[in-house]
Chains A and B, each alone.
Chain A
């Protein structure tokens, strides 16, 4: 049973639209992460947070932004979606043992 939830699972949206990908966890974890992953490819860290009001950019430059107003919630926003944003987005959280728990992902297609 998943303790970290991502919605929507699939999203097809037109170019220029604003979108928010939701990620929530019920484990009380302080650390949360967003990864971008093309099918069958490696994970790229795009954002992370160490707690409320803490957000940092990851290794891969991204036009998305994130916020962390509540411990359990770490949404990712694209102000103006483009076809190059088409990818799978994975959210994860970690607690004191540093193991990550991943959500099921959001597969985004921008047309």
Chain B
């Protein structure tokens, strides 16, 4: 069955420190992978996406993610976190030819808190 796992429910980092949010997926077809960010009371905003090609993708707000097929992972990284990065982060997977009628499958989210 297709699934997305974000192992960390809540992460706290100090401002200026580096960040890595983990995402693992189980998907039978070639996946499309996404990271979204959600500020409190808002909708989700797309940070970056991977379809094919270079496995290191750059996104908005200084975020990047690396697709590792052998580990079924798509971890999100940022070299230096800013207080404004505090939010909920969702990983999602989909496929043009896969299950779930082509709908994205979302992880349960990781809440990021930033310490001054």
Contacts and interface: CB of A to CB of B under 8 A. Distances in A.
B44 to A, nearest CB: 4
Contacts of A104: 42-43
Interface stretch (B22-30, B62-70, B74-82, B104-112): B104-112
B106 A90 contact: no
Interface in B80-116: 88, 90, 92, 94, 96, 101-104, 106-109, 111
Which of A43, A50, A102, A104 lies at the interface centre, i.e. has the most chain B CB atoms within 10 A of its CB? A43
B51 A43 contact: no
A108 to B, nearest CB: 13
Contacts, number: 54
A90 B103 contact: no
Contacts of B107: 42
Contacts of B111: 40
Interface string B33-55: 01010001111111001010000
Interface string A24-42: 0000000101000001111
Interface of A: 6, 31, 33, 39-43, 45, 48, 50, 56, 88, 90, 92, 94, 97-105, 107
Q: Please name the 7 residue pairs, one residue from A and one from B, whose CB atoms are nearest each other, closest first.
A: A102-B43, A42-B108, A102-B44, A104-B43, A43-B106, A105-B43, A98-B94
Interface of B: 32, 34, 36, 40-46, 49, 51, 88, 90, 92, 94, 96, 101-104, 106-109, 111
